[in-house]
Amino acid sequence: MLTLARHGAPTDLPPLLIVHGLFGSARNWGAIAKRLSDSREVIAVDMRNHANSFWNDTHDYPTMAADLAEVIEAEGHPMDVLGHSMGGKASMLLALTRPDLVNRLVVADIAPVAYGHSQTHLIAAMRGLDLSGLDSRAEADRRLAQSVENPQVRAFLLQSLDLRADPPRWRLNLDALERQMDLITGWPDVSGLAPYEGPVLFLSGAESDYVRAEARPVIRALFPKARMARIPGAGHWLHAEKPREFEAALRVFLN
């Protein structure tokens, strides 16, 4: 099963399951999870091939949705689910295939469509990082800057670098993620599935182009009760760029 990070204790409110995006981890969501745990239990997962969870050659949305279903079934009751990017797609497929397990769904800056871009250039950058004699995150950032210009992206990627290992290593199954990148940026055929009739919030960054107007008919068809909201000044990593605004929007919808 996936590795979990728990925050807070059970209350009258349903627990919240947080599902990170590509190259992410439960740890990325620690601050938000801790703050939200003032009113409910919050469980963040490490997805397969990420952080402390198991590695596997298969990395597609049906298996990721099944991983999440296993977590919720082990908890013994339905949960509210928040998924970002890749985690948002896995969470959407979970709601469509196992609606009995999802009370409310929040999809952060992603749509149920295939995307034309690839993140293999970031995998190449991580593979190309010289790990020899590396003993500080500052030095790792300096070296990674040769191939990744954006300091925010570097900081995000470096959260998955284990500097305590000897030698340092990436806590990501880069081979599997690279092989299945088309499946990660894609979206499975869901034509045989019934729409998810529960409440859904599609929360996007106003500066991001991941949820375009042309995706709205697809969203409405699969999630008839979907509400749309945008966070001003935020891009794709909206929870990191505007954490307070993101948290406030979550509280309004989930509570």
Catalytic residue among 59, 84, 236, 239: 236
The closest alpha carbon to 200, from 82, 114, 97, 85, belongs to 82
The answer to whether residues 79 and 14 touch, using CB atoms and an 8 Å cutoff, is: yes
Task: Provide the pLDDT for residue 109.
Answer: 97
Could you tell me the pTM of the whole model? 0.96
Q: State yes or no: pLDDT of 255 exceeds 90.
A: no
When the pLDDT of each residue in the chain is averaged and rounded to a whole number, the result is: 96
The answer to whether residues 71 and 1 touch, using CB atoms and an 8 Å cutoff, is: yes
The Cα 219–Cα 113 span in angstroms is: 9
Instruction: Tell me how far apart the terminal alpha carbons of the chain are, to the nearest angstrom.
Output: 29
Phi, psi at 211, each rounded to 5°: -115, 95
Instruction: Kindly state the average pLDDT of the residues 32-38.
Output: 96
Residue 236 annotated to the active site: yes
Task: Provide the pLDDT for residue 131.
Answer: 94
Catalytic residue among 38, 162, 175, 209: 175
Catalytic residue among 85, 91, 204, 208: 85
Residue 85 annotated to the active site: yes
The Cα 125–Cα 154 span in angstroms is: 10
Q: Which domains does the chain have, with CATH numbers?
A: 3-115+186-254 (3.40.50.1820), 120-172 (no CATH)
DSSP 8-state secondary structure symbol assigned to residue 15: P
Instruction: Kindly state the average pLDDT of the residues 60-89.
Output: 98
Residue 204 annotated to the active site: no
What's the pLDDT tens digit per position in 127-169? 999 999 898 999 999 999 999 999 989 999 999 999 999 889 9
